[in-house]
């Protein structure tokens, strides 16, 4: 290492600019263990408050990418991916990957666990008995090649420095750093050997970027660094002022994804965001002439059942049941205490403190407060009311899934507090705010 870890931390704490060699040295120490967890936390906090220049951000991303294996693919179609900055009820990755695979793309999706108040795609998939979210690279390659998609977590081989820093950020209040988010996302994606990436940058009460200006800054950072690294990159800024799906949790979101893929339920807002992101992937991958053509192809993949088939093959290839879509209701874990939560007054949902719903899921046991915490896959909320919905004696705010009646009551109170109910139906914001790219 060019400098001692504490000197690098001190330099950034005092507002200095780090050179690429110092950043590379610090990340190498993070990978081999010579940089302690405390030092990594201090570095993250210094970056959070002081920020990084574009050159520092690029150096950090490259160092984290090169901390492990960088994949190379030899496939008959484009290698594409989508990543979300995280939200509540964001089950898009679960359905988007097989949809794009059914249209000729290859999607080696490296996803994360829950971070802060947001849910994690891996935690949702691990609701499936037997699903191996961290397979070896040989199995990962095999499933991608044969199925067209595989959703896994970071193996020890891929961006290991990011895996360690990601867990530390989750519990040290440094999740929202634009610089660290950019490096974390792009190091995994560059290590996956992608041809193109579509970013879903959330903005609103349930997003890490609470304002559109902040979301735009992150989107521009990711598009700039990703494109500069030779990876075609586009970003959409989407709304997170309410849960995207009407479910928030792990098994409950998995069940929601099954309903979507099989056509039992496709909520308009969730469907719109999913189609928009997947269409961008097809266009940047050269699989569709334009967005309209891409949407037609995706609709056909859903209607024909090909997307559902790809998902089921992916689940089986990674250790889950061969017939998961048929048996999902029987094999997904169920919480013992399930009951509706009603508002204190009748009216229309005027607003949702979405972050509080995510925190309520953690309170139920469906998320983590420490990296080593186990989670309860069965708990969460379903049938969540959306802005503009009428609520009252016949329509609850949602249904709580809890381990026992005591935690159910606490979560019910948190859910009521997260909703603002008014006499009149409000105007509803567009699901997709802006495209950057």
Catalytic positions, please?
Answer: 81-84, 121, 169, 184, 188-189
Structure tokens given for 251: 């098994």
Residues 6+ apart with CB under 8 A from 33: none
Say how many C-beta atoms besides its own lie within 10 A of residue 265's C-beta: 14
Yes or no: say if 93 and 82 are a contact pair by the CB < 8 Å rule. Answer: yes
Query: What is the spatial order of strands in the sheet that 398-402 belongs to?
Result: 248-249, 380-382, 398-402, 337-341
Structure tokens given for 387: 């802005």
d(CA 288, CA 125): 29
d(CA 130, CA 124): 13
d(CA 276, CA 234): 12
Q: For residue 247, give the nearest of 361, 170, 348, 342 by alpha carbon.
A: 361
Give, for 72, the enclosing helix (H) or strand (E): none
Q: For residue 123, give the nearest of 316, 367, 343 by alpha carbon.
A: 367
Q: How many CA atoms lie within 13 A of 279 on its CB side?
A: 19
Yes or no: say if 250 and 88 are a contact pair by the CB < 8 Å rule. Answer: no
Output the furthest CA–CA distance in the chain (Å, rounded): 66
Q: Is the dihedral angle over the CA atoms 113, 115, 117, 118 positive or is it negative?
A: negative
Say how many C-beta atoms besides its own lie within 10 A of residue 323's C-beta: 12
Burial class of residue 50, CB neighbours in 10 A (0-12, 13-18, 19+): middle
d(CA 394, CA 138): 52
d(CA 8, CA 94): 39
Yes or no: say if 190 and 110 are a contact pair by the CB < 8 Å rule. Answer: no
Radius of gyration of the chain (CA): 21
Q: How far is CA 371 from CA 84, 91, 172, in A?
A: 20, 22, 11
Yes or no: say if 48 and 176 are a contact pair by the CB < 8 Å rule. Answer: yes
Can you list the alpha helix ranges (DSSP code H) found in 128-287? 137-147, 160-170, 178-191, 212-228, 251-262, 268-284
């Amino acid at each position: 290492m060019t400098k001692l870890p504490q000197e690098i931390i001190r330099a950034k704490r005092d507002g200095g600019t780090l050179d690429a060699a110092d950043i590379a040295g610090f990340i190498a120490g993070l990978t081999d263990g010579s940089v302690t967890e405390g030092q990594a936390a201090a570095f993250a906090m210094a970056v959070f408050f002081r920020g990084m220049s574009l050159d520092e951000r690029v150096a950090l991303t490259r160092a984290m990418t090169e901390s492990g294996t960088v994949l190379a693919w030899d496939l008959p179609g484009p290698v594409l991916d989508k990543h979300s900055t995280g939200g509540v009820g964001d089950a898009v990755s679960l359905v988007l990957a097989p949809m794009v695979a059914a249209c000729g793309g290859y999607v080696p999706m490296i996803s994360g666990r829950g971070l802060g108040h947001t849910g994690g795609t891996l935690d949702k998939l691990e609701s499936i008995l037997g699903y191996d979210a961290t397979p070896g690279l040989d199995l990962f390659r095999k499933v991608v090649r044969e199925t067209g998609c595989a959703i896994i977590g970071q193996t020890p081989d891929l961006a290991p420095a990011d895996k360690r820093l990601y867990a530390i950020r989750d519990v040290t209040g440094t999740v929202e750093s634009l610089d660290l988010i950019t490096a974390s996302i792009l190091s995994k994606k560059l290590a996956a050997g992608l041809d193109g990436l579509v970013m879903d940058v959330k903005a609103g009460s349930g997003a890490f970027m609470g304002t559109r200006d902040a979301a735009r800054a992150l989107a521009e950072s990711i598009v700039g660094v990703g494109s500069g690294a030779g990876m075609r990159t586009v970003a959409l800024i989407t709304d997170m002022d309410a849960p995207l799906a009407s479910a928030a949790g792990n098994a409950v979101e998995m069940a929601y994804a099954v309903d979507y893929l099989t056509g039992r339920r496709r909520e308009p807002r969730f469907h719109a965001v999913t189609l928009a992101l997947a269409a961008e992937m097809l266009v940047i991958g050269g699989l569709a002439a334009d967005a309209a053509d891409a949407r037609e192809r995706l609709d056909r993949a859903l209607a024909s059942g090909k997307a559902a088939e790809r998902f089921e093959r992916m689940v089986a290839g990674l250790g889950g049941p061969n017939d998961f879509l048929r048996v999902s209701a029987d094999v997904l874990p169920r919480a013992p205490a399930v009951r509706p939560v009603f508002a204190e007054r009748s009216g229309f949902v005027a607003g949702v403190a979405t972050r509080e719903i995510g925190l309520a899921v953690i309170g139920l046991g469906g998320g983590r407060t420490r990296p080593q915490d186990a989670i309860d896959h069965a708990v969460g909320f379903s049938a969540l009311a959306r802005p503009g919905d009428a609520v009252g004696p016949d329509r609850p705010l949602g249904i709580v899934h809890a381990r026992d009646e005591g935690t159910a009551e606490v979560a019910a109170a948190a859910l009521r507090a997260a909703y603002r109910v008014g006499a009149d139906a409000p105007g509803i914001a567009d699901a997709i705010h802006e495209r950057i790219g």
